[in-house]
Structures are given as C-alpha cells and as structure tokens.
C-alpha cells in the first residue's frame, strides 16, 4: 500500500476480505476493488463468492481470487493460508470481517451455535492474523482491519457471547497495534453500530430501522484506515455516542443499561424462523 500525501492508497495492493459473500464483507470487497486493489474473497459459500468475483473483475479489471473455507473450523484459517501460498499470493491488507452472533437469552438459544460464534469471531480471527500478520511483519509492511462493533464497549445481556467476542477483538486489536508500532504493519479495529445486513436472518430479531448501509460502512472504514486512524467508528454519530456509556458508567450500570436497551429491541424474546424462500 502506497502513501499519497499522508493518505494511503489501496491501488495495486492485495486485500483479503473474510465473510465476503454478503453484507459488510461484500461491501468491503466492492469498495476495495473500486479503489484498484486485487481482492481475495473468503467465506463458506463458494458459488456466491464466484459470482461476486466475476462482478468485480468485469467492473474494475482487478485480480480476484476465491477461497472457500469455514473459519469457525480450527483448520479453516490454515487452509486459507496454505491456499494463498500455493497460489503465490502475498496479502497486504487483511480485513477480518467474518463474524456472527446469537441473539436471545444465553440459556435459551442453541449452545453449539454460540460456541461456533466464539470459534469464528475469536479463534478464526486470531489464527488468520497470526498467519498473515507474521509475513507482513517479515516484509515490514501491511495492514489488518478487525471488525469489532459498538457492542464491544459494554456487556450486552441477550447478546452476551457476541458482545464478549467483540470486546476481545477490541482489546486484541489495540494491544497488537502497540506491539507492531514501528514495524510498518498497522492494525485498526472498526466499530459499526447497526448495519442493514442479513446478520439477524433466521431469527425473529430485526435490525434497527436506523441501520447504516454496508456500502457506507465499508467506504468510511477504508477512509479511516487510509488516514492512519487506530480505530474507526464508521456508522452514524449516535452509535459512537452509545459507546461512551461503557467508558464513563460503573460497569454494573453499563451492563444494566445494555440489558434495558436490548429488552426494548425484544432481544429477550428471540426465536428461530424458517428461512425465506
């Protein structure tokens, strides 16, 4: 990634986006390709990724590679890295976007799904960062953007596991950014509020009507990274304001407030629904 008057340019670099088949990840892939980056698309849905790859190649003339992998599986991130080496691809920018979160009371939602969220949001992210980040450090340059959330800043009842995984991503990203200072490798966490994606599909929970668009979130995150920011709040201003409560209130009060807000959203009464056909 080249510097251009203090602002980084993505043109000519290679970016790997996880969770690129839909939602915010697909928006990152589109935005990066439109800014001239070659892109590696990673998710489980190979056919959807191939369709997006074709769209990006013909719209922007960039190189687009597809690697289908389950990142909640311990071997998934390693398979991605092995495939990158086999194809001779060096990644300049890793966008750890893939993530999932169960909504509803902890003891009333399927446990395996919640554990898979931990595997994806934490173990998958840490493993890919370790594998790809090590080579960036050796080369003396590169970038890592980790998708956290405004959910990272306080405990959230009825999203207990999800919010805790995002708090991990926040803490991990900030610590790693310090460790890597001066190496040429930058780490930035991004904290969107609600975004209009299929994140809650398959449940009775609904994304807020005030949700931002994935395209806006992607463009603002990349602008923040290009300007050298350590954190990105790419959503509407009121989502950033919501993160202040967790910083100024005693933790018990912040947790109680989170529970009240999530009850207002009906997250204490979530069940599964048949997927739309």
Ligand X SMILES: NC(=O)c1ccc[n+]([C@@H]2O[C@H](COP(=O)([O-])OP(=O)(O)OC[C@H]3O[C@@H](n4cnc5c(N)ncnc54)[C@H](OP(=O)(O)O)[C@@H]3O)[C@@H](O)[C@H]2O)c1
Answer for the pair 128, 98: CB distance below 8 angstroms, yes or no.
Answer: no
Give one word for 112, left, alpha or beta, with left for phi > 0 and alpha for psi -120 to 50: alpha
Selected range binding ligand X among 64-72, 134-142, 248-256, 259-267, rule: CB under 6 A: 64-72
Which C-beta is closer to ligand X: that of 73 or that of 137? Answer: 73
Pick from 50, 55, 65, 70 the residue near ligand X by CB under 6 A: 70
Question: Rule CB under 6 A: is residue 25 a binding residue for ligand X?
Answer: yes
Distance CA 196, CA 208 (A): 8
Answer for the pair 69, 44: CB distance below 8 angstroms, yes or no.
Answer: yes
Largest CA distance in the chain: 53
Which C-beta is closer to ligand X: that of 5 or that of 275? Answer: 275
Q: Which of residues 102-161 bind ligand X (CB under 6 A)?
A: 120, 147, 149
Question: Residue 147 CB, nearest distance to ligand X (Å)?
Answer: 4
State yes or no: is 162 an active-site residue: yes
Which C-beta is closer to ligand X: that of 53 or that of 120? Answer: 120
Whose CA is closest to 262, among 189, 198, 200? 200
Bridge partners, residue 8, by sequence: 3
Within 123-266, residue ranges assigned H as helices are 125-139, 160-179, 214-226, 237-248, 251-264
Bridge partners, residue 41, by sequence: 17, 66
Question: Rule CB under 6 A: is residue 37 a binding residue for ligand X?
Answer: no
Question: Rule CB under 6 A: is residue 3 a binding residue for ligand X?
Answer: no
Which C-beta is closer to ligand X: that of 20 or that of 32? Answer: 20
The DSSP 8-state label assigned to residue 104 in this structure reads S
Whose CA is closest to 220, among 239, 245, 201, 244? 239
The one catalytic residue among 28, 158, 162, 239: 162
Pick from 3, 45, 171, 271 the residue near ligand X by CB under 6 A: 45
Pick from 16, 29, 66, 194 the residue near ligand X by CB under 6 A: 194
Question: Rule CB under 6 A: is residue 234 a binding residue for ligand X?
Answer: no
Which residues are designated catalytic? 162
Binding stretches for ligand X (CB under 6 A): 19-25, 43-45, 70-72, 97-101, 120, 147, 149, 192, 194-195, 197-199, 207
């Amino acid at each position: 990634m080249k510097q251009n008057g203090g602002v980084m340019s993505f043109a000519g670099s290679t970016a790997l986006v996880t969770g690129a088949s839909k939602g915010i990840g697909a928006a990152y892939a589109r935005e990066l390709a439109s800014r001239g980056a070659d892109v590696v698309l990673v998710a489980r849905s190979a056919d959807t990724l191939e369709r997006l790859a074709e769209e990006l190649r013909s719209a922007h003339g960039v190189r687009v590679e597809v690697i289908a992998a389950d990142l909640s599986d311990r071997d998934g991130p390693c398979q991605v890295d092995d495939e990158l080496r086999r194809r001779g691809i060096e990644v300049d920018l890793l966008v750890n976007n893939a993530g999932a979160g169960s909504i509803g009371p902890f003891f009333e939602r399927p446990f395996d799904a919640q554990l898979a969220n931990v595997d994806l949001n934490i173990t998958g992210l840490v493993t890919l960062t370790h594998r790809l980040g090590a080579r960036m450090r050796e080369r003396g340059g590169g970038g890592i953007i980790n998708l956290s959330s405004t959910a990272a800043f306080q405990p959230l009842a009825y999203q207990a596991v999800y919010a805790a995984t995002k708090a991990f991503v926040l803490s991990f990203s900030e610590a790693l950014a310090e460790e890597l200072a001066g190496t040429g490798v930058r780490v930035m966490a991004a904290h969107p509020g609600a975004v209009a994606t299929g994140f809650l599909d398959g449940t009775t929970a609904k994304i807020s009507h005030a949700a931002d668009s994935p395209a806006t979130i992607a463009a603002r995150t990349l602008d923040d990274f290009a300007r050298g920011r350590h954190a990105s709040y790419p959503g509407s201003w009121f989502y950033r304001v919501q993160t202040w409560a967790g910083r100024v209130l005693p933790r018990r009060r912040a947790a109680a407030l989170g529970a009240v807000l999530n009850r207002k959203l009906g997250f204490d009464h979530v069940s599964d629904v048949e997927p739309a056909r």
